[in-house]
Amino acid sequence: MRDAAESVPYGMRLAAAWSWRILLVGGVLAVVVFLVIQLRLVIIPVLVAVLLSALLVPFSRWLQRHGWPRWLAVTAAMVATLAVVGGLLTLGISQIVRGSADLAEQSVIAWDGFREWLLEGPLHVTSDQIDAFVAQIVQVVQSESDVLLSGALSVSSTIGHFLAGLLLALFATLFILIDGRGIWAWVVGIFPRRARAAVDGAGRAGWATLENFVRVQIFVAAIDAIGIGAGALLLGVPLAIPIAVLVFLGSFIPIVGAVVTGALAVFVALVYEGWGIALAMLGVVLLVQQVEGHVLQPLVMGTAVKVHPLGVVIAVATGSLLAGIPGALFAVPVAAVGNVIILYIASGRWKGDDPPELTRSPLWRTVPQKPGYGR
């Protein structure tokens, strides 16, 4: 009597073997994504801390190589970061608040002009039609008043979560600056001894890619901010400085940030200066973004993260779908680091390397290991 497995064609057995492995990997990834979403209030600040550390660790080490004590180098890196970020936010917010009343007034004037164009223009829209449209908008807002009220009531909890996440990100960044090597040694020590060489080498390759990504992203964001801000200034568009600040901050969110901040610049130009300057501002925004997309991204960002532009788009779209703005923010660095880690492990360059010597951190006590522990 023939065995039942022998009666199944080889192609079917091969497809079945691939299928259950793909299902297993997909199930594990689904569980990981679910846990990340559920623990987002903790994971997002930690990821922010990792991005900040990728920028500040090289700066801190550079200061230490030039004779600065560790505590002073870490303090200087943290204070410099807080000063730069706080200064940009203060400058942008103060300028926006100062011009908010004028912006509201100009928006009313622009609406009146647009209404007059609708009445007298080629569309032949009547005043009753415009009033009916506005009434529908008001009715929708009133019907959703419960949602708006619940959203307003949840503002306090949102602010609390933001402050807690900010403190967690600052503390995590501080500990990575102080004892990043010890933290990484602890992570590597979790894995079996045979896997430590691969884990250590892959982690170092991923960290180098992350450092390159952060530096290049700051450079690209600065180019976007300078280009669009200078264009707004030359065209005489008010609030040019806040626009440049928002463009710089928004550039850290790939694709989405550029579209939103560019649309804001065009809107401000339209409200204050009319259609002609708004179209010119749109041309400036498109020119800067085309230079970024076709020159800076392929030459600089592509070399830094080693991810194809199509992969970047898919990663940003997937991250946005799963986690909104935070997903779009972390999609590219996660994809870049994951790509480098997988390629490093698959290359087998770590084979034959001795397991790294794990230097324990002086910031915590270690439990003596039993013979064979971690092997």
What tens digit of pLDDT does each residue of 161-217 get? 778 888 998 899 999 988 888 888 888 888 888 888 888 888 998 998 898 888 888
- Spatial distance between the Cα atoms of 345 and 326, rounded to a whole number of angstroms: 28
The owner of tokens 């807002």 is: 141
CA distance 186 to 158: 33
Smallest CA-to-CA distance from 170 within 74, 261, 259 is with 74
Residue 73 is encoded by which pair of tokens? 């180098």
pLDDT in tens, 253-310: 766 677 788 888 888 888 777 778 888 888 988 888 777 766 666 666 666 666 776 7
pLDDT at 27: 92
Which residues, including other chains, have CB under 8 Å from residue 292's CB and lie 6 or more apart?
220, 223, 224, 258
Taking phi over 0 as left and psi of -120 to 50 as alpha, with beta for the rest, 170 belongs to alpha
Q: Name the percent of the chain lying above pLDDT 90.
A: 5
Rounded to the nearest 10 degrees, the angle between the axes of helix 275-291 and helix 256-273 is: 160
Of 250, 252, 253, which Cα lies nearest the Cα of 218?
Answer: 252
Cβ–Cβ under 8 Å, residues 188 and 199:
yes
Answering whether pTM is above 0.85, one says: no
Closest to 197 in 3D by CA, of 46, 344, 7: 344
Spatial contact of 278 and 264, defined as CB atoms under 8 Å apart: no
Distances (CA, A) of 136 to 25, 114, 132, 353, 366: 49, 18, 6, 70, 67
Mean pLDDT of the chain: 77
Angle (CA) 51-52-53 rounded to 5° is 90
For the chain, domain boundaries: 39-187, 191-351
Q: Give the per-residue pLDDT at 142.
A: 56
Note the pLDDT tens digit of each residue in 62-76.
998 888 898 898 899
Q: Which residue has better confidence, 360 or 36?
A: 36
Please report where in the chains the tokens 């680091």 appear, as a residue: 337
Q: Model confidence at 107, in pLDDT bands (50, 70, 90)? A: low
Structure tokens at 225: 């901010």
Predicted confidence at residue 148, as pLDDT, reads 42
d(CA 15, CA 242): 57
**pLDDT greater at residue 67 or residue 322:** 67
Residue 154's pLDDT band, with cuts at 50, 70 and 90, is: very low
Nearest alpha-carbon partner for 190 in 24, 13, 355, 20: 355
pLDDT surpasses 50 at 375: no
Among 366, 365, 363, which Cα is nearest to 179's? 363
- Enter the tokens of residue 1: 């009597």
The Cα-based distances of 90 to 85, 158, 223 in angstroms read 8, 21, 21
Residue 153 has pLDDT above 60, yes or no: no
Residue 286 identity (one-letter amino acid): L
> How do residues 210-241 score in pLDDT, each as one tens digit?
988 888 888 888 888 888 888 888 888 888 88
Query: pLDDT at position 82, please?
Result: 86
The residue ranking higher by pLDDT, 52 or 316, is: 52
Helix (H, G, I), strand (E, B) or coil at 367: coil
